[in-house]
Amino acid sequence: MAKLTASETAAYCTWAAVQTLGGWGYARAFPVEQWMRDAKLEEIEEGTSGIMRLIISRSM
């Protein structure tokens, strides 16, 4: 549950930061772009959110 919550929170927060900066959020000049890529990678590495939800529901 912690992995799912952490990866989704990181993805949402970085997405919001990119949206706040607009087009500059995608520029490599700002660290937000790197954070967004890292957060997306963590979502994929930990397993997709759907799979994690399935695992959690089976264990309950």
Beta-carbon contacts of residue 47 (< 8 Å; ≥ 6 apart):
3, 55
Tokens for 38, please give them. Answer: 């890292």
Q: Look up 46 and say whether it is catalytic.
A: yes
pTM of the model: 0.76
pLDDT of amino acid 42? 84
The model's confidence at residue 1, banded by pLDDT at 50, 70 and 90, is confident
- pLDDT tens digits, 21-39: 988 888 888 899 999 999 9
Judged against a pLDDT cut of 90, whether residue 13 lies above it is answered with yes
Tokens for 18, please give them. Answer: 């990119």
What is the chain's Cα-based Rg? Answer: 13
